[in-house]
Amino acid sequence: MSIQTVSTTPFDDQKPGTSGLRKKVPVFQQPHYLENFVQSIFNSVPELEGNTLVVGGDGRYYNDDAIQTILRMAAANGIARVLVGQHGYLSTPAASAVIRKHGAAGGIILSASHNPGGPKGDFGIKFNAANGGPAVESLTEAIFEASKRLEHYLSVSCEDIPLGEAGTYQIEAMQVEVIDPVEDYANLMAELFDFDAIRGMFKAGFRLRFDAMHAITGPYARRILEQELGAAAGTVINAEPKPDFGGGHPDPNLAHAREMVDEMYSDDAPDMGAASDGDGDRNMVLGRHFFVTPSDSLAVLAANATLVPGYAAGLSGVARSMPTSCAVDQVARSLGIDCYETPTGWKFFGNLMDADRITLCGEESFGTGSAHIREKDGLWAVLFWLNILAVKGDSIKDIVHHHWSVYGRNYYTRHDYEDIDSEAASTLMSMLGSILPNQVDREIAGYKVKAADQFSYTDPVDGSVSANQGIRLLFENGARIVYRLSGTGTQGATLRIYIEAYEADVTRQDQDTQQALADYIEIAREVADVAGYTGMDEPTVIT
Ligand code: G16
C-alpha cells in the first residue's frame, strides 16, 4: 500500500466547542487544516484501526470534498471498512443509528448544525464514539491535545469514490460501502412508533407541514412522512438539501422557519407544524396558532410516553440541560423517576443513557431525544408528537394546556446577544462571577435571590467534573436567570440569557411569555449590565 506521510504544522485553534469543531468554510479550506484535525482523531482513537467507521454529513458546502479526504486518510490509517451515506448524506441522528446498528467503532459527522452554509458559511466536524454519541469531554480534550503536537498525517492517492452511487468500493485494503442514508433510520422509527395509528390519522385528514429548511431532513421526512405514513404530497416543504440551504439559516426557531410559522398562524393553518435543522437533530413543534417551547415539548413527551409503543414500559429517568426549563422536573416528580440536570451539550447525556439511568432527555435549544440513539433527533420528536396526537385525538394546544393545568406552567424564554466582542463577553462573565456572592439573599425588584452560583456538574456515572457551565441566579419563588456564552458560534461571541418563572395558577397560565417574564428580563439585563458591556439594547434573537 502506498501510504503517504505528509509533513504538517499544528494549528492552535482546533479545540472542539459544544459540539465538535466549527469554523468558517475558508478556515477548513486552508492547506492541512481538515487533515490535521482528522489525523488528531485517528491518533486519539486507536480502536478505529482494523474496525468500521461511519462517515456522513448534512450536505452543506465542502461536505463532498471533506468526505473524500477522510476516506483517503482512513485507508492510510488502517480502518478496515467505512460506511458512508449516499451523496455523502447522513443526518446526525441517522449517523448515530448507523454506528449502533453496524457495531462501528465510531463515526465522523460533517456538519455545523443550524449554522448557515455555502462557500462563506460554516462547516464543522465531530467524532462520535461506538455508542453512537458525541465524544465525551475527555476525548475532545485528547483530540485537541493531539492537534497541538501534530507533525504529520497519513493519506493515500486514489480516485474519488462515486458517492452518488450506492455500492461497495475499495481504497487499498479498506472497503467503502456507500449506503442508503435513510434505510436504517426509517426502520428504527417503525420499531418505536405506532405507524398504523399515525397512518390512520393522516387518512382521516390530519394536516402536517414539515419544513426541512433545504437541509438534510428532507429525504428522511419525505420517505417516512409522505411515503410510509401517507401524509399528503407537499407536506414536507424545502425538502431538497442544498449546499447553502437555499441561502437560509437552517435553525428551526420562530425567526428562521418563517414560511412554516406564518402558515401555522394563518386562517387555514394545518393541525401541526414542525421544522428541523441543518443536520436533522433539532426540532420545533407548533400547533395551530400555538408554539410549543422545546422545554414544554420534552415535558409533554415524558408525561405521555407510555402511549407510544417504544416507551410503553415507562421511563427509567429523564434529563435536561441546566438552562432548559424545569417543566420536565415536575413530570419526573409525579412519575417518581430521577431527573438529571446536565451542562449544555448532548455529550453529557450519553453516560446516563448507557447506564440506563434515563430514557428521555432534551434541551431548550430545540433538541429532544431518547436512548434509541445517542444524539438528539428532530424527526423522532415529530413522530413522537404524531403518535401522541393519534392516540389522544386532541389538538396540540389542548394537550399542552391540559399539561400546564396538571403540572403548572414554566414560562420560559431565551435572549441571545449575537456577534458581540469576545473580550467584552468574557469580561461580562467574569464580572458576573465576581459579584455572585453578593447576590444571595438580596432582593431585586421585589424578588428574593435564594442562590447564585457557577454551575458545575459531576457525572454520576464516571465521576468526571465539568466546571463553569453557566451562571445562575435562583430566586426563592423558583424563578431562574441563567447566563452563559454559546460554544457553537464561529464569529465573535454570543451571550445567552435564559429566563424562567413557574406559574401553578391555571387562571394565570395564558399570558404572553415576554410579558409574564418582563420583571425578570429587566433584572437579567441590569444585573449583568448587558447594554454597557455589549452596546446592545435589545437581544438579536428571542426564542
Ligand atoms: C449543540 C449541542 C447542544 C447545545 C447547542 C447549543 O447543538 O449539541 O447540546 O444545546 O449546541 O449550544 P450553545 O448554547 O453552546 O451554542 P447543535 O444542534 O448545534 O449540534
CATH number at residue 68: 3.40.120.10
Nearest partner of 358 among 337, 378, 330, judged by Cα: 337
- Residues 452, 381 share a domain: no
- Residues 481, 391 share a domain: no
138 is catalytic: no
- Residues 418, 335 share a domain: no
- Residues 196, 165 share a domain: no
Domain's final residue, options 407, 436, 459: 407
Give residue 438's pLDDT.
Answer: 87
Please give the distance, rounded to the nearest whole angstrom, from the Cα atom of residue 159 to the centre of ligand 1.
36
Cα distance between residue 330 and residue 174, in whole Å? 51
- Residues 376, 250 share a domain: yes
Percentage of the residues of the chain whose pLDDT score is greater than 70: 100
Percentage of the residues of the chain whose pLDDT score is greater than 90: 95
- Residues 423, 395 share a domain: no
Nearest partner of 179 among 253, 264, 87, 292, judged by Cα: 87
Give residue 490's pLDDT.
Answer: 76
Q: Whose CA is nearest to atom 19 of ligand 1?
A: 113
What is the residue range of 355's domain?
185-407
Give residue 282's pLDDT.
Answer: 96
Contact 318, 385 (CB under 8 A): no
Ligand 1, pocket residues at CB < 6 Å:
18-19, 113-114, 281-282, 344-346, 363, 365, 367, 486-488, 496
Q: Whose CA is nearest to atom 13 of ligand 1?
A: 486
Cα distance between residue 57 and residue 78, in whole Å? 22
Q: What is the DSSP letter of 134?
A: B
Please give the distance, rounded to the nearest whole angstrom, from the Cα atom of residue 488 to the centre of ligand 1.
6
Q: How many CB atoms lie within 10 A of CB 4?
A: 13
CATH code for the domain in which residue 446 is found: 3.30.310.50
Amino acid at 288: R
Question: Active site residue: 40, 91, 111, 113, which one?
Answer: 113
Please give the distance, rounded to the nearest whole angstrom, from the Cα atom of residue 165 to the centre of ligand 1.
33
Confidence band, pLDDT 50/70/90 cuts, at residue 18: confident
Give residue 403's pLDDT.
Answer: 98
- Residues 271, 176 share a domain: no
Confidence band, pLDDT 50/70/90 cuts, at residue 411: very high
- The residues, any chain, with a CB within 8 Å of residue 205's CB and separated by 6 or more, are none
Phi, psi of 163, rounded to the nearest 5 degrees: -65, -20
Region of 408 please: left (phi>0), alpha (psi -120 to 50) or beta. Answer: left
- Residues 154, 87 share a domain: yes
pLDDT for 1 beyond 70: no
Domain's final residue, options 407, 423, 452: 407
Domain's final residue, options 145, 163, 181: 181
Cα distance between residue 292 and residue 173, in whole Å? 50
Cα distance between residue 280 and residue 378, in whole Å? 6
* Total domain count, the chain: 3
Sign (positive/negative) of CA torsion 9, 10, 12, 16?
Answer: positive
Average pLDDT of span 407-422: 95
- Residues 395, 461 share a domain: no
Pocket residue to mutate for ligand 1, from 361, 488, 491, 498, most atoms within 8 A of Cβ = 488
Decide: helix, strand or coil at residue 182: coil
Region of 404 please: left (phi>0), alpha (psi -120 to 50) or beta. Answer: alpha
Cα distance between residue 495 and residue 483, in whole Å? 7
Give residue 345's pLDDT.
Answer: 93
Cα distance between residue 530 and residue 432, in whole Å? 11
Cα distance between residue 217 and residue 220, in whole Å? 5
- Residues 226, 174 share a domain: no
Amino acid at 294: P
- Residues 373, 481 share a domain: no
Please give the distance, rounded to the nearest whole angstrom, from the Cα atom of residue 394 to the centre of ligand 1.
32
- Residues 400, 423 share a domain: no
